[in-house]
Amino acid sequence: MIDLVFKNYTSQIAPRPGFFKNILETVTKELKMNGNVEVSINLVGEGKVKDLNKKYRHKDKSTDILSFPLGGGSGDIFICLSFAKREAKRENVSMEEKLSQLAVHGILHLFGYDHERSEQDAQKMFDLESKILVKIVL
């Protein structure tokens, strides 16, 4: 069973929960996950993501996404909406495309993928991320 909790803590307009549910279902299908997966996706501002990054990763800066795995693919994801908007503009992609990429990236972290461990792990994660992104219908 897939359980998604979605909250937009910003005043900015964002996609509806169904947008992220589709992404989560696509990722779990690709990974052939049949168990219970509980994910919360939280859209936050730069202050909140900076605080979380400092507290849990000891990095005193804002970032686009943070993932906190709870095991078995479950966990919490925090996406900084204003950071994502700047990245989308810089990368010349739609906001939906950027949010899809960030959500897939965050969900893969919940399933244990980590691009910071080694070049080989990074390549494996980014290849899988790309494979999944082409399957997501926006």
CATH number of domain containing 66: 3.40.390.30
With respect to residue 111, please indicate whether it lies within any of the assigned structural domains.
Answer: yes
Count of the separate structural domains present in the chain: 1
pLDDT of residue 121: 86
pLDDT of residue 91: 96
With respect to residue 138, please indicate whether it lies within any of the assigned structural domains.
Answer: no
The Cα 96–Cα 16 span in angstroms is 11
Q: Is the pLDDT of residue 131 over 80?
A: yes
What is the pTM (predicted TM-score) of this model?
Answer: 0.93
With respect to residue 44, please indicate whether it lies within any of the assigned structural domains.
Answer: yes
With respect to residue 84, please indicate whether it lies within any of the assigned structural domains.
Answer: yes
Mean pLDDT of the chain: 93
pLDDT of residue 36: 85
CB atoms within 10 A of CB 11: 7
Q: State which residues form the domain around 54.
A: 2-133
Residue in 82, 89, 88 with CA at minimum distance from that of residue 12 = 82
With respect to residue 6, please indicate whether it lies within any of the assigned structural domains.
Answer: yes
